[in-house]
């Protein structure tokens, strides 16, 4: 447990671990803000072990140029890191998954996909590259004459539908797998209300939540053809996983608009607890590292105790708190003070 006033570096420590497992931050959208003021790089290294396996994973973030990753001292692709590091983080920002903008729910779905299939890190990187290139092409075509050759756009559209369909297929599959566990965790935290999740497409429609990748590609291709003129007018891609959402419901009512503060926190916790349990079963690398970043300050006493009971079976817990009093009495383990970015064991 890391204990210290706000602004001393607690979240920086746990965020570094999370970055190794997800290649992203729960607070900012790119890696640049994670680099300290006055510095051009930031480096994270972690020594990891599970059973007889021991590895060292590292990443160097850069203001300019591609970030670097290493496994046991050998350079590797950034997309390889999630294969070796798995974690689940609970944070105050999780309330935004329930009540915030669709981007927060998309981020949760993509973290879920990456947690279940670490190799998808490369697909997400491909998707961002293809989306950027396609949008750039659409912007350049806005001023082009109506008779302009669109064969290059057709090529990028084909590549886009391929990587987009793979992401959507995994989102649908893993959401379906995790929701029963979410319902069970929510029942434990808040009672017997029914929880459900409905994947929401934008600009296209799927016949089933179990649609195959080929079926999704066909639907996306048709949708892109239907909105081509609008895309050319606006200079942006209007269909795909970057615009989809998931509607979370409690007793068949949208949680985003109807959930109380207590229900919001219970559902956010249930999502993370379900993810941790799902990863434990799905990944061969053992329990995920469970991280709770200043979460107890947001919870009432009853939810604190239930959360502690739910996480105590995991192999490693990392917990941060601004004040000692927010930590439930049942928590054991080593405690560290943190001040000005320096971690000191007690």
DSSP state string for 112-131: HHHHH-TTHHHHHHHHHHHH
Among the CATH numbers 3.65.10.10, 3.30.70.940, 3.40.630.30, 3.40.50.300, which is that of 1-86+287-346? Answer: 3.40.50.300
Dump pLDDT digits (tens) for 58-73: 999 998 888 899 999 9
Beta-strand (E) ranges in the chain? 2-3, 41-50, 53-62, 68-71, 74-76, 87-90, 195-200, 245-250, 253-254, 289-293, 317-321, 336-339, 342-345
Q: What is the pLDDT of residue 303?
A: 87
pLDDT > 80? residue 273: yes
What confidence tier does 29 reach under pLDDT thresholds 50, 70, 90? low
Closest CA to 46 of 23, 22, 20, 69: 20
Place of tokens 């075509």: 141
Q: CA-CA distance, 264 to 300, in Å (whole number)?
A: 13
Count of CA atoms in the C-beta half-sphere (13 A) of 36: 10
Q: What is the pLDDT of residue 224?
A: 97
**Region 161-179 average pLDDT:** 97
Q: What is the pLDDT of residue 11?
A: 86
Cα 271 to chain center, whole Å?
Answer: 12
**Region 42-63 average pLDDT:** 89
Closest CA to 266 of 189, 182, 184: 189
| Residue 173 to residues 166, 169, 178, 203, 286, Cα–Cα distance (Å) | 11, 6, 9, 21, 22
Share of the chain above pLDDT 90, in %: 64
**Region 264-278 average pLDDT:** 95
The answer to whether 85 and 21 have CB atoms below 8 angstroms apart is yes
pLDDT > 80? residue 143: no
Taking the domains of the chain in order of start, what are their residue ranges?
1-86+287-346
Q: What is the pLDDT of residue 266?
A: 94
Cα 198 to chain center, whole Å?
Answer: 18
Q: What is the pLDDT of residue 63?
A: 86
**Region 235-256 average pLDDT:** 97
**Region 300-312 average pLDDT:** 88
């Amino acid at each position: 447990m890391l204990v210290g006033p706000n602004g001393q570096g607690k979240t920086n420590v746990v965020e570094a671990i999370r970055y190794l497992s997800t290649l992203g931050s729960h607070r900012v959208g790119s890696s640049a803000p994670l680099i300290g003021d006055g510095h051009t790089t930031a480096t994270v290294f972690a020594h990891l072990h599970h059973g007889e396996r021991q590895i060292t994973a590292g990443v160097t973030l850069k203001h300019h140029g591609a970030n670097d990753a290493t496994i046991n001292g050998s350079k590797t692709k950034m997309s390889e890191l999630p294969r070796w590091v798995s974690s689940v983080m609970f944070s105050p920002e999780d309330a935004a998954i329930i009540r915030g903008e669709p981007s927060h729910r998309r981020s949760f779905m993509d973290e879920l996909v990456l947690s279940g299939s670490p190799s998808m890190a490369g697909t997400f990187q491909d998707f961002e590259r293809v989306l950027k290139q396609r949008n750039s092409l659409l912007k350049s075509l806005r001023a082009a004459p109506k008779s302009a050759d669109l064969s290059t756009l057709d090529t990028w559209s084909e590549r886009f539908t391929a990587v987009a369909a793979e992401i959507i297929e995994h989102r649908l599959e893993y959401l379906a797998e995790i929701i029963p566990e979410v319902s069970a965790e929510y029942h434990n935290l808040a009672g017997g209300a029914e929880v459900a999740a409905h994947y929401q497409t934008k600009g296209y429609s799927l016949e089933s939540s179990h649609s195959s990748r080929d079926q999704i590609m066909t639907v996306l291709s048709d949708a892109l053809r239907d909105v081509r003129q609008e895309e050319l007018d606006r200079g942006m891609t209007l269909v795909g996983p970057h615009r989809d959402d998931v509607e979370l419901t409690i007793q068949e009512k949208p949680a985003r608009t109807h959930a109380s503060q207590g229900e919001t926190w219970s559902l956010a916790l249930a999502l993370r607890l379900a993810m941790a349990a799902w990863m434990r079963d799905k990944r061969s690398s053992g329990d995920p590292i469970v991280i709770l970043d200043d979460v107890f300050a947001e919870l009432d006493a009853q939810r604190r105790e239930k959360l502690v009971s739910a996480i105590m079976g995991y192999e490693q817990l990392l917990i941060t708190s601004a004040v000692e009093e927010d930590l439930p009495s049942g928590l054991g383990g080593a405690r560290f003070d943190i001040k000005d970015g320096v971690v000191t064991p007690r």
